[in-house]
Structure 1
Amino acid sequence: MPIIVLFYKECGLDLADIFILKSVYSIAMVSLEIPTGYLADVWGRRNCLIAGCIFCFLGFTNYSISDTFTAFFLSEILLGFGQSLVSGADSALLYDTMLRYKKEDEYLKYEGRVTMVGNFSEAFAGIFSGLLAVYSLRLPFYVQSGIAFIGIPAAVALTEHAAKTRIKNSFANIVQIIQYSLFTNKELCYNIMFSGVIGAATLTMAWFVQPLLIELDTPTSWFGIIWTILNLTVGISALYSDKLDQRLGSLRMYTLILFFIVGGYIAVAFNISYIGLVCLFFFYIVRGFATPILKGYINQITFSEMRATVLSIRNFIIRLMFAAMAPLVGWLHDLYSLSVALQATAAIVFVPGLLFLILQWRYKPKEPSL
């Protein structure tokens, strides 16, 4: 991630092409997101994680030997399929493990630790990728393929505690879960939709980081270092997410997350400078505690037998929204400027985000004062 935009540009792609590739990845995920979440419930979380890791390994391997838009297109499909198998199954397996040991009340703490470890490892990898890219922009991809392979035996080593759901009509059951999640259970629906909007916003900003650094003429070796600091920021923030949630409560957290995320876009848009880079760090602080907190809310009001499917519906919303707006903001960047693209994204995120925030305010009972 820290140097991939530079890699794409070396291969002759512009930002519109890059965002199209990211849309392909999201569409590949979206096409299988809910079915694979359901597959995790009926076939097993562990089995889906193993299959997903294999697809990801193949996708990164293809990237490491390719240099054309068409080849990258194939890699994004492989990676999208792989991630769709992993997403939902991983958090569901974690929550079921917490249930097995009667520690479900501590789920948010452990989800925060997972986010922290993931971002810390990505952060340190960012340093190495930046240094490797000084010698060759392709070298990080060779290393990435090896790292991706490690996921396969890691998934094999996991233990699953949830019983597999046994049903007669898979399609009908998926439809029932979707209907329950997005229509019948209003609280769950508003949580999924709000979490999806925020997830799409943080994902899109991740792809604006490198265009911002390029705009600032940042040396290649610094790309990995800045990426590292950003991910360390997310990791540290995620570690304290449970304490912040306990202090503020869900309604205050929803409000804080939305307005800081949208405000972060606006602040960076009007400060395409190192001041904007500072604003970006505050955005990443909010990103760090938003992800585990919003996932935790969904898990608390979801039945175990449909948990992976419900989490996949959330990821489906994230990827669908990203796939819809990514080509637009990439086109706005190439035609106008980075500032215009950031402002447009802020507006796209704010409108549905505010809608579901208001719906949550109206639906949820008022929380006691601190």
Structure 2
Amino acid sequence: MNLNLFSNIWKLYVIKASKWLMLFMPTIFLFFKENGLELHDIMVIQAIYSISIALIEIPSGYIADVLGRKKSMIIGTLFGFIGMLIYTFASGFWGFLPAALCLGIGQSFISGSDTALMYDSLVAANMKEKFIKFEGRSIALGNFAEAIAFIVGGFLAEISLRTPFYYQSVIAFIGLFVAFLLIEPPVSKLGNKKPWTNIKYIIKYSLVDNIPLKWNIIYSSVIGATTLVMAWFAQPYYAALNMEVKYYGIIGAVLNLAVAFTSFYAHRIEEKIDTNKLLIFILIGLCFCYAFLGSFLNYWGLAILFLFYLIRGIATPVLRDFINRFTPSEMRATVMSIRSFMIRVIFAIFSPFLGYVADVYSIQTAFNISAIVFFVIGLVSLIFYLKNEKIRLE
């Protein structure tokens, strides 16, 4: 075992924690409202954030494959730090917009690079079969960190809704510092072609030539967008219930602990449940939760949110593992970035519309539309994936 490369695991855990220890999240909806934004405005900012990720996602993944995962991680954590500083001192829609753009750029460079760096570090340490275990633990740690942030951030927000951002900037700087300590794992390199030629080759390989990988990426992206929309609808749902603000942090912490729990044991769940059945369960389970929340506006909805987050905890590491199985090491970061790109595109397309529906009609109407949209596009991609996977195995 290469112990130096294996040390990347704990460093990635620290960076993950620094990203997910989001002290501002318990009251982010209230923070935006205090600064004059409606839910539609919030969703527009998040859509722009997602578009900025989408535009840079694939090039940044390619940079990680060519120049190194470590350099990509450093760039990503640097922009994340700058974005937090801007949020700390900005106000209003146009003040928050550059902060969102910086965070989007930062997320683009980290997304895909962290997963690829972990997988290739485990390959070098002869432990690649342990990827889903360590990836699940990474996701679990991230959600434990977010759960703590929901509790601590709620107390900090009692000082002022801006106070959590001061502390967040320090946390972001810690992530940047640890990124410099990462060790670049040995990986195969792409041929000496022009960058855009290589990028086109990888896109064609993953979305045209490798049919099972193509539908795997599309299905995984739909599920990712499904969970991302819910993350931004949770607090408006609390508001619709007329819940006291002091409970936002507690409930947020519980939901993230739910993700942490199932992520931690995702590798065992995958071992015991047939892969195809697990994929079907994830789609039906998430969309059922949307439909329930759209039909009932009461405190039973909190139990359904808990179920949603339990399923989310299973979905993320399992779907990433499926993609890694089909992907060569020399293009792994770029392929994972393609997945993230598609998640952000789907989110950017639907979230402003869903935010508008919630403002003009109700949050329940937005939930019902989400259930229908995500189930239809998720089912289509899943059917094509299962069909082509069956052909591949025959």
Which TM class, normalised by the smaller chain length? over 0.9
Q: Give, in angstroms, the shift of residue 360 of structure 1.
A: 2.0
Residue in 2 that maps onto 1:142: 166
The 2-side partners of 1:229 and 1:354 are apart by 30
The 1-side partners of 2:309 and 2:152 are apart by 21
Q: Give, in angstroms, the shift of residue 165 of structure 1.
A: 2.6
Q: Is the 8 A contact 2:57 2:340 kept in 1?
A: yes
Residue in 1 that maps onto 2:236: 211
The 1-side partners of 2:57 and 2:185 are apart by 22
Say yes or no: does 1:350 pair with 2:375.
yes
The 1-side partners of 2:109 and 2:392 are apart by 37
Could you list the per-position Cα deviations for residues 97-130 of structure 1 after superposition, in whole angstroms to 9, with x for gaps in the alignment? 1101111111111100000011001110110111
Select 1:329's aligned residue among 332, 336, 354: 354
**1:155-304 to 2 correspondence within 5 Å?**
155-163=179-187, 165=189, 167-304=192-329
Q: Give, in angstroms, the shift of residue 367 of structure 1.
A: 12
Q: Give, in angstroms, the shift of residue 164 of structure 1.
A: 6.6
Say yes or no: does 1:60 pair with 2:93.
no
The 2-side partners of 1:157 and 1:221 are apart by 38
Residue in 2 that maps onto 1:9: 33
SS in 1 for 2:183: coil
SS in 2 for 1:2: helix
The 2-side partners of 1:162 and 1:253 are apart by 33
Q: Is the 8 A contact 2:289 2:305 kept in 1?
A: yes
Identify unmatched segments of 5+ residues in structure 2.
1-24
The 2-side partners of 1:84 and 1:277 are apart by 32
Q: Give, in angstroms, the shift of residue 224 of structure 1.
A: 1.1
The 1-side partners of 2:140 and 2:77 are apart by 20
Residue in 2 that maps onto 1:360: 385
The 2-side partners of 1:63 and 1:81 are apart by 15
Structure 1 residue runs of 4+, over 6 Å off? Answer: none
Q: Is the 8 A contact 1:116 1:236 kept in 2?
A: yes
The 2-side partners of 1:367 and 1:269 are apart by 39
The 2-side partners of 1:267 and 1:72 are apart by 33
Q: Give, in angstroms, the shift of residue 134 of structure 1.
A: 1.7
TM-score of the superposed pair, with normalisation by structure 1: 0.97
Residue in 2 that maps onto 1:94: 118
TM-score of the superposed pair, with normalisation by structure 2: 0.92
The 1-side partners of 2:118 and 2:66 are apart by 17
Return 216-225 or 1-10, whichever deviates more.
216-225
- Count of aligned pairs between the two proteins: 368
RMSD, matched Cα: 1.4
The 1-side partners of 2:338 and 2:386 are apart by 22
Q: Give, in angstroms, the shift of residue 74 of structure 1.
A: 0.7
Say yes or no: does 1:29 pair with 2:53.
yes
The 2-side partners of 1:245 and 1:367 are apart by 21
Q: Is the 8 A contact 2:61 2:112 kept in 1?
A: yes
Q: Give, in angstroms, the shift of residue 277 of structure 1.
A: 1.0
Q: Give, in angstroms, the shift of residue 86 of structure 1.
A: 0.3
Amino acid at match of 1:138: R
Identify unmatched segments of 5+ residues in structure 1.
none
The 2-side partners of 1:115 and 1:324 are apart by 26
The 2-side partners of 1:264 and 1:320 are apart by 23
Say yes or no: does 1:111 pair with 2:149.
no
Q: Is the 8 A contact 1:268 1:276 kept in 2?
A: yes
Q: Is the 8 A contact 2:140 2:261 kept in 1?
A: yes
Q: Is the 8 A contact 1:133 1:221 kept in 2?
A: no
Q: Is the 8 A contact 2:187 2:329 kept in 1?
A: no
Q: Is the 8 A contact 2:133 2:267 kept in 1?
A: yes
Amino acid at match of 1:254: L
Q: Is the 8 A contact 2:120 2:187 kept in 1?
A: no
Could you list the per-position Cα deviations for residues 80-106 of structure 1 after superposition, in whole angstroms to 9, with x for gaps in the alignment? 000000000000000001101111111
Residue in 2 that maps onto 1:76: 100
